[in-house]
């Protein structure tokens, strides 16, 4: 909502500076998101008098008009206007002036004669004037050189305020804002006029009293050709309205001034009495803006004896609106039930100014103020010739009470305000206090309980006036959640191993998600209203998202990829959504360029990462061959299943190069692990270091092609030799005898120094076991 | 020495030897097993005791001088050889160093942990809820019924499972946490997590992170709220940051309060970033609405609470001094590398 400083000043007996106004508005909860000025562009538009008018020598439709300016200077302007005769006083915009439509004027050459700037019509200034010609002939007696900005009262400060939904329910009105400012500033209000005395002429019938508790109609006779008062036009222009017709201008003015939207019907188009009723199925209405809508039973309409005139509280019909030749209007002043209007305007997508007032909440008492204000504005320029008969159907809704206890407000706000101070605050904010209750002002649709009263007391005093404290009595030992702490340890472990964490969007493209489908989970959860097509499901796997990061980076930089994410993945389980935890790591395996050189990345970096991470986490984990075929997107000879707590929980391996190619990375290793939230690890129990020396034995073995290192390692482990602390491969090469593998066995005892006899015994047991695999010592 | 060779000339020969081999020859020639001085010493037995003493002392002195000279010359030559080796081994130390392969946590992870750390110190426990949330927890339980104008405020993503929605805020964890506490007091939790809204521009992304806070106990007041949040924000943004509180509106708090901090760009004097107000909003908060307390199983006549929700990205943007939120989710690795320092617990 745009609030005009000057308009606020209409209601307050004294008006502070704009920065005070901003602070006041924000104290009340009206966030000021912008400030601007209206009228300063008129600072160069000056009043001049025509001294002569002669035809243009070379153009029939143009005239040369000499005007006298402030100080007697004469300027010649070329104009095509049909008026501007000697003695007439006009508004002149010299070169450099910017008009409301955005044009900046300069010296123009019109058929060989230089014309500096323009003589203006009212429309070019954004106004309407009663004038018999194109140019605005000014009838005021201001001195020559008077600026247009000064006849409209000077520049006005505008505040763009954001209305929260609760405030929109009652504060879309300059008067209501002024009332609250008056309360917090202690500046008296300008009193409202007396209420309008409605007659009870048979002008209207209300069928649906629930949705329209008050319906007033006032007949007014108008003089065609009139315009709204200049100050009304100025305030309306300032807040962004066009000037249309005095009867329409007045409804706009009253809407912002009192928060009460009015509607003017052309009396000629209405077959009285008016009926306020639900729409009938199939009824149609052509709105003021020309669109044709189909109505249904839930819409409240204003009809006459034959047709629908308007969609109640939202927009009038085209056929019954006022036009230039309108001589009599029926002015509607109503109070509608807000939720019904809200639903209607949402359904028809018609957020008009009226709808945003009626659909959120208006003041029923404004129904009595509005006709008085409208009539006085129309009378000011003799547009109104007579107020005719009128009617008011319905009753003012009763006042509501809420329980009131100042002690409760003190407790909620944590302050020491005494009862008298709290009472005064609420009374200033418009409440009447009756024993243990507060009478809620009729326009305060937002107030439900003592909590709202507490808020108003807070707004009255200002929230920053509340002394702060820390709820130390509530402090206990803060706890973390084991499952999420585990995620954090995992993040630290993988990042510590040299991988950059990324955070990717959880929604993705079904095709990309399917590319890394392992068949381990159910269907995807679809987002029914995605922003983009490629974000229309919730991801079931992390890897697709990570590979998009690879693609994004590889298409911009030639750089090695070492990334991971610990995040959530989603899948359907019947009518439930399963949310699981996953770790995914991606490592590009192509050779590293650069100098000084670095160790080449290898898939063993990822298998090693898995072993390290599981040790760090204390997880019971192992790598093993896939049961059956592994996922088809993996390199069959360079991949393994990851097993956690005895269950297959992921995989590690190279992507098939043709999949990597899709991401601009031919050789790429991936590690994906879906881990349960309760896989809390074992704590290490490292014991004491042994005092005794270790003994290393290297065995050079000849191994058949079919025997993997893992099989040799398993065979040795199965022997369960207590003193064998460590087994590791140290060398491998191919010779004419086959493949040679050297393994290093490290022995150590906690009790004593091992002898050659001890070690030889163990080694011969190991060789015997390996013999079963066809593995022998190289001679 | 031989009758024709003086000690001086031997020592000169040693001092001018130009190779290990020449030095070795000289060592053998004079003090080796068959060297002249050694031979002379063996022959001392043939002399009279008087002569032996004189000659013996002389030979010893010579031997000592020769050995010293040999040692000195050896040291000089060893130093020269080492200098030559070292010179040949020199590297271009101005080449870029091989940085350790240490991964970084995402700046938003670090920022989340920083916020969690401050709140843990203030006594808040951690609580969590699902990202795909029921409409009950996300809306109705928080006093946002269907058709409530406030549902306009948060444009939600819906999923093809009836009754579920991508949570639009971390506030549903308020209800879940109260349910888990089963009426016990106090409830003092924070809930960090992913949230979703249908927005995409420089200051809004469709998936973002919030931290929710909730305190419920007897006598919790707005003063507790402003005190706690001021303490938190000063820990996060520094002790000099200016703060203020403004009335606002959220369906699940009453009164609702927005907290502003002084603009980091202009320090409060007004600039384009803060729309010339000197202030930028940092979080939304308020006294827990009685309906929300009831929905969490607490009696609003006996207890009260406050809650707040803060965007982690907003804090990150301020601390890292960035003006486009989307950069944080682009995962440009070259860009993420630039967040080397700060944002964790390492800046004050
Ligand atoms: Zn600023």
Of residues A151, A154, A41, A155, the one with CA closest to residue A104: A41
pLDDT for residue A735: 85
Query: CB-CB: which of B96, B113, B159 is closest to A538?
Result: B159
What is the rounded average pLDDT of the residues A32-53?
A: 94
What distance in Å separates the CA atoms of residue A653 and residue A605, rounded to the nearest whole number?
10
Measure B262 CA to ligand 1 centroid, in angstroms: 8
Query: Over 50: is that where the pLDDT of B346 sits?
Result: no
Position B149 scores a pLDDT of 61
Give residue B1's pLDDT band: very low, low, confident or very high (50, 70, 90).
Answer: low
Contact A7, A257 (CB under 8 A): yes
If you write DSSP's letter for every residue of B74-86 in order, what string do you get?
Answer: HHHHHHHHHHHHH
Question: pLDDT tens digits for A249-271?
Answer: 999 999 999 999 999 999 999 99
Query: Which DSSP state fits B227?
Result: H
Instruction: Evaluate whether B324 touches B332 at the Cβ level (below 8 Å).
Output: no
A470 or A151: whose pLDDT is higher? A151
B101–A562 CB contact, under 8 Å: yes
Name the residue among A674, A606, A612 with its Cα closest to residue A634.
A606
Task: Assess A411–B contact: CB distance below 8 Å, yes or no.
Answer: yes
Question: CA-CA distances (angstroms) from residue A53 to A49, A66, A104, A134, A224?
Answer: 11, 6, 25, 15, 31
- Cβ atoms within 10 A of the Cβ of B254, count? 25
Which residue in B160, B224, B257 is closest to A414 by CB distance?
B224
The CA distance from B30 to B5, in Å, is 12
Q: Give pLDDT, residue B345.
A: 47
**pLDDT tens, residue by residue, A736-774:** 888 999 999 999 999 999 999 999 999 999 999 999 999
What does the alpha-carbon distance between residue B35 and residue A314 come to, in Å, rounded to a whole number?
Answer: 126
Residues of B in contact with A177 (CB under 8 A): none
Contacts of A484 in chain B (CB under 8 A): 126, 128
Tokens 């005794």 found at: A692
Q: Please tell me the distance from the alpha carbon of residue A95 to that of residue A542, in angstroms, as a whole number.
A: 64
Cβ distance of B254 and A480 shorter than 8 Å: no
Backbone φ, ψ for residue A39 (5° rounding): 100, -15
Among A125-134, B131-140, B227-236, the range scoring the smallest mean pLDDT is A125-134
Q: Residue A160: in which H helix or E strand, if any? A: strand A156-162
pLDDT of amino acid B2 = 56
Chain B residues close to A562, C-beta within 8 Å = 101, 103
pLDDT of residue A280: 93
Examine the pLDDT at B347 and tell me if it is beyond 60: no
- Which residues of chain B does A449 touch, with a Cβ-Cβ cutoff of 8 Å? 254, 290
Whether the pLDDT of residue A238 is over 50: the answer is yes
Owner of token pair 């009340």: A28
| Banded pLDDT at A158 (limits 50, 70, 90) | very high
Q: Which of A769, A684, A736 is nearest to A745 (CA)?
A: A769
Give me the torsion for CA of B214, B217, B222, B228, rounded to 10°: -60
Helix (H, G, I), strand (E, B) or coil at A472: helix
- Cβ burial of B34 (10 Å; 0-12, 13-18, 19+) is exposed
Question: Per the structure block, which two tokens stand in for B279?
Answer: 């202030």
**Alpha-carbon dihedral B239, B245, B248, B254, rounded to 10 degrees:** 100
∠ at Cα A317 (A316, A319), nearest 5°?
135
pLDDT tens-digit readout, B286-323: 999 999 999 999 999 999 999 999 999 999 998 888 88
* CB contacts, 8 Å: A31 with chain B: 246, 248, 258
* pLDDT confidence band for B152 (50 / 70 / 90): low
Chain B touched by A389 (CB under 8 Å)? no
A384-414 burial code (b ≥16 CB/10 A, e <16): beebbebbbbbeeeeeeebebebebbbbbbb
- Category of A2 on φ-ψ map: left (φ > 0), alpha (ψ -120 to 50) or beta: beta
The predicted structure's pLDDT at residue A192: 92
Asked if the C-beta of A557 comes within 8 angstroms of chain B's C-beta atoms, the answer is: yes
Average pLDDT over residues A189-193: 94
Work out the mean pLDDT of chain B and round it to a whole number.
90
- Indicate yes or no: CB of A468 within 8 angstroms of CB of B103: no
Average confidence (pLDDT) over B104-111: 94
Whether residue A428 is predicted with pLDDT greater than 50 in this model: the reply is yes
Closest to B248 (Cβ–Cβ): which among A164, A474, A497?
A164
Round to whole Å and give the CA distance between A333 and A259. 11
Any B CB within 8 A of A19 CB: no
Instruction: Answer yes or no: do A527 and B128 touch at CB < 8 A.
Output: no
Whole-angstrom distance between the N-terminal and C-terminal Cα of chain B? 80
- CA-based nearest residue to B309, from B205, B242, B201, B225: B225
Look up the pTM and report it.
0.86
Torsions phi, psi for A533 (to 5 deg): -60, -40
At residue B150, the pLDDT reads 61
Q: What is the pLDDT of residue A473?
A: 62
Please tell me the distance from the alpha carbon of residue A728 to that of residue A730, in angstroms, as a whole number. 6
Closest residue on chain A to B198 (Cα): A531
Task: Name B226's Cβ contacts closer than 8 Å, sequence gap at least 6.
Answer: A463, A466, A468, B245, B257
Contact B103 A35 (CB under 8 A): no
- Take residue B327 and report the two structure tokens written for it: 């950069």
On the question of pLDDT at B348 being above 70, the answer is no
Other CB atoms within 10 Å distance of the CB of residue A44: 18
Which helix (H) or strand (E) is A726 found in, with range?
strand A724-735
Chain B residues with CB-CB distance to A528 below 8 A: 157-160
pLDDT tens across A294-323, in order? 999 899 999 999 999 999 999 999 999 999
Closest by CA to B244, choosing from B223, B228, B234, B230, is B230
Chain B interface includes A347 (CB < 8 A): no
Helices of type H across A569-708? 603-617, 657-661
Please write the tens of the pLDDT for every residue from A607-638: 999 999 999 888 889 999 998 889 999 999 99
Residue contact B275–A34, C-beta within 8 A: yes
Cross-chain residue pair A455–B247, CB shorter than 8 Å:
yes
- A773 and A714 in contact (C-beta within 8 Å)? no
Is the Cβ pair B258, A31 closer than 8 Å? yes
Quick count: other Cβ atoms within 10 Å of Cβ B293? Answer: 24
B98 Cβ neighbours under 8 A, 6+ residues apart? A596, A598
- Average pLDDT of chain A, as a whole number: 93
pLDDT tens string A715-740: 999 999 999 999 999 999 988 888 99
Give the pLDDT band of residue A477 (cuts 50, 70, 90).
confident
Question: How many whole angstroms separate alpha carbon A705 and alpha carbon A448?
Answer: 82
Nearest to A479 among B125, B159, B329 (CB): B125
A627 touches chain B (CB under 8 A): no
3-state secondary structure of B41: helix
Mean pLDDT of A35-47: 94
Residue A284 has pLDDT above 90, yes or no: yes
Which residues of B are less than 8 Å from A476 in CB distance? 123, 186, 188
> How many Å lie between the alpha carbon of B93 and the closest alpha carbon of chain A?
11
Among chain B residues, the shortest Cα distance to A527 is held by: B159
Query: Closest Cα of chain A to B126: distance in Å?
Result: 5
> Which of the two residues, B298 and B41, has the higher pLDDT score?
B298
Of A409, A381, A81, A353, which Cα lies nearest the Cα of A226? A381
CB contact under 8 A, A474 and B125: no
Q: Is the dihedral of CA A83, A86, A92, A94 positive or negative?
A: positive
Q: Do A33 and B275 touch (CB under 8 A)?
A: yes
Query: What value of ipTM does the predicted structure carry?
Result: 0.87
Rounded to the nearest angstrom, the distance between the alpha carbon of B265 and the centre of ligand 1 is 5
Tens of pLDDT, residues A582-607? 999 999 998 888 888 888 899 999 99
Average pLDDT over residues A96-119: 93
SS3 B335: helix
Q: What are phi and psi of A33, to 5 degrees?
A: -100, -5
CB B223 to CB A577 under 8 A?
no
Per-residue pLDDT at B153 exceeds 60: no
pLDDT in tens, A214-230: 999 999 999 988 999 99
Q: Which helix (H) or strand (E) holds A176?
A: helix A174-185
Name residues 438-457 of chain A within 8 A of B (Cβ).
Answer: 449, 451-452, 454-455
Contact A404, A437 (CB under 8 A): yes
Quick one: closest CA in B to A19, which residue?
B277
Is B198 in contact with A34 (Cβ distance < 8 A)?
no
Instruction: Put the strands of the sheet holding A437-440 in their side by side order.
Output: A400-403, A437-440, A432-434
User: A350-409, pLDDT tens digit by residue?
Assistant: 999 999 999 999 999 999 999 999 999 999 999 999 999 999 999 999 999 999 999 999
Q: Is A383 helix (H, G, I), strand (E, B) or coil?
A: coil
CA of B280 to the centre of ligand 1 (A): 8
């Amino acid at each position: 909502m745009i609030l005009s400083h000057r308009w606020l000043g209409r209601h307050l007996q004294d008006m502070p500076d704009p920065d005070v106004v901003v602070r006041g508005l924000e104290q009340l909860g009206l966030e000021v998101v912008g400030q601007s000025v209206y009228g300063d562009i008129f600072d160069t538009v000056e009043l001049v008098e025509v001294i002569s008018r002669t035809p243009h020598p070379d153009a029939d439709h143009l005239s040369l008009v000499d005007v006298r300016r402030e100080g007697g200077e004469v300027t010649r302007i070329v104009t095509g206007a049909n008026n501007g005769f000697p003695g007439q006083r006009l508004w002149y915009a010299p070169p450099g002036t910017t008009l409301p439509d955005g044009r900046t004027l300069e010296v123009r050459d019109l058929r060989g004669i230089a014309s500096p700037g323009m003589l203006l019509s009212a429309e070019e200034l954004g106004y309407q004037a009663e004038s018999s010609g194109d140019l605005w002939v000014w009838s005021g007696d201001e001195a020559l050189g008077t600026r247009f900005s000064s006849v409209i009262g000077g520049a006005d400060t505008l505040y763009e305020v954001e209305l929260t939904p609760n405030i929109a329910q009652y504060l879309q009105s300059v008067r209501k804002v002024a009332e609250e400012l008056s309360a917090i500033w202690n500046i008296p209000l300008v009193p409202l006029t007396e209420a309008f005395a409605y007659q009870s002429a048979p002008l209207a019938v209300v069928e649906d009293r629930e949705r329209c508790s008050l319906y007033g109609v006032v007949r007014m006779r108008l003089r065609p050709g009139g315009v709204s008062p200049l100050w009304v036009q100025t305030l309306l222009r300032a807040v962004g309205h066009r000037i249309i017709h005095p009867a329409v201008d007045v409804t706009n003015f009253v809407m912002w001034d009192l928060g009460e939207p009015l509607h003017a019907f052309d009396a000629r188009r209405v077959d009285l009495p008016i009926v306020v009723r639900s729409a009938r199925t199939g009824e149609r209405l052509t709105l003021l803006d020309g669109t044709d809508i189909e109505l249904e039973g839930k819409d409240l309409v204003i009809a006459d004896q034959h047709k629908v005139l308007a969609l109640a509280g939202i927009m009038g019909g085209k056929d019954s609106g006022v036009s230039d030749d309108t001589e009599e209007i029926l002015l509607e002043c109503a109070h509608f039930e807000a939720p019904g209007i809200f639903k209607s305007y949402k359904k028809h997508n018609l957020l008009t100014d009226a709808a945003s007032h009626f659909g959120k909440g208006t003041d029923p008492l404004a129904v009595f103020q509005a006709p008085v204000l409208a009539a006085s504005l129309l009378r000011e320029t003799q547009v109104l010739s007579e107020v005719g008969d009128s009617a008011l159907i319905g009753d003012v809704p009763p006042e509501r009470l809420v329980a009131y206890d100042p002690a409760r407000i003190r407790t909620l706000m944590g302050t020491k305000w005494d009862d008298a101070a709290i009472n005064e605050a609420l009374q200033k904010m418009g409440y009447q206090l009756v024993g243990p209750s507060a009478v809620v002002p009729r326009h305060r649709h937002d107030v439900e309980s003592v909590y709202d009263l507490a808020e108003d007391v807070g707004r009255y005093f200002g929230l920053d006036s509340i002394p702060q404290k820390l709820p130390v009595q509530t402090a206990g030992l803060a706890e973390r959640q084991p499952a999420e702490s585990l995620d954090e340890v995992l993040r630290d472990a993988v990042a510590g191993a040299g991988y950059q964490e990324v955070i990717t969007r959880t929604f993705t493209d079904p095709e990309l998600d399917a590319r890394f489908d392992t068949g381990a989970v159910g269907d995807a959860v679809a987002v029914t209203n995605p922003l983009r097509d490629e974000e229309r499901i919730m991801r079931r796997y992390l890897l697709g998202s990570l590979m998009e990061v690879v693609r994004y980076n590889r298409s911009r930089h030639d750089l090695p990829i070492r990334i991971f994410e610990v995040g959530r993945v989603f899948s359907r389980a019947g009518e439930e959504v399963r949310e699981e935890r996953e770790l995914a790591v991606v490592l590009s395996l192509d050779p590293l360029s650069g100098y000084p050189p670095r160790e080449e990345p290898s898939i063993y970096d990822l298998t090693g990462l898995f072993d390290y991470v599981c040790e760090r986490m204390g997880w019971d984990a192992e790598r093993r061959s896939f049961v059956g075929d592994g996922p088809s997107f993996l390199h069959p000879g360079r991949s393994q299943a990851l097993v956690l707590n005895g269950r297959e929980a992921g995989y590690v391996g190279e992507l098939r190069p043709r999949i990597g190619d899709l991401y601009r990375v031919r050789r790429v290793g991936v590690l994906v692990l879906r881990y349960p939230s309760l896989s809390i690890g074992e704590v290490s129990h490292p014991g004491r270091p042994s005092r005794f020396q270790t003994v290393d034995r290297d065995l050079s073995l000849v191994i058949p092609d079919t025997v993997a290192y893992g099989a040799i390692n398993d065979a040795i482990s199965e022997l369960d030799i207590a003193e064998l602390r460590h087994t590791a491969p140290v060398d491998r090469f191919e010779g004419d005898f086959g493949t040679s593998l050297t393994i290093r066995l490290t022995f150590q005892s906690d009790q004593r120094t091992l002898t050659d006899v001890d070690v030889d015994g163990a080694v011969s047991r190991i060789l015997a076991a390996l013999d079963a695999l066809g593995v022998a010592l190289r001679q | 020495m031989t009758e024709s060779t003086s000690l001086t000339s031997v020592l000169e020969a040693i001092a001018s030897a130009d190779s290990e081999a020449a030095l070795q020859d000289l060592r053998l020639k004079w003090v080796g097993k068959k060297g002249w001085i050694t031979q002379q010493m063996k022959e001392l037995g043939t002399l009279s005791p008087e002569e032996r003493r004189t000659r013996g002392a002389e030979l010893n002195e010579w031997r000592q001088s020769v050995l010293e000279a040999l040692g000195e010359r050896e040291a000089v030559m060893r130093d020269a050889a080492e200098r030559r080796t070292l010179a040949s081994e020199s590297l271009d130390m101005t080449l870029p160093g091989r940085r350790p392969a240490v991964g970084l946590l995402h700046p938003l992870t670090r920022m989340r942990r920083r916020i969690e750390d401050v709140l843990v110190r203030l006594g808040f426990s951690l609580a969590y809820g699902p990202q795909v949330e029921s409409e009950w927890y996300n809306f109705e339980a928080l006093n946002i019924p269907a058709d409530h104008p406030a549902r306009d405020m948060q444009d939600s993503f819906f999923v093809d499972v009836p009754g579920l929605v991508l949570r639009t805020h971390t506030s549903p964890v308020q209800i879940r946490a109260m349910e888990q506490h089963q009426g016990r007091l106090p409830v003092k939790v924070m809930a960090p997590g992913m949230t979703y809204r249908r927005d995409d521009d420089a200051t809004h992304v469709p998936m973002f992170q919030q931290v929710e806070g909730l305190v419920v106990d007897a006598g919790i007041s707005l003063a507790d709220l402003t005190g706690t949040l001021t303490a938190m924000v000063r820990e996060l943004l520094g002790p000099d940051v200016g703060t203020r509180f403004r009335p606002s509106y959220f369906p699940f708090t009453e009164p609702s309060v927005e907290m502003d901090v002084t603009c980091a760009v202009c320090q409060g004097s007004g600039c384009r970033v803060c729309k010339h107000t000197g202030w930028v909003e940092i979080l939304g908060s308020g006294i827990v609405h009685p309906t929300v307390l009831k929905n969490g199983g607490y009696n609003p006549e006996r207890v009260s609470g406050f809650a707040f929700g803060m965007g982690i990205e907003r804090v990150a943007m301020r601390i890292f001094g960035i003006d486009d939120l989307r950069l944080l989710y682009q995962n440009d690795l070259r860009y993420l590398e630039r967040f080397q320092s700060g944002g964790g617990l390492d800046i004050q």
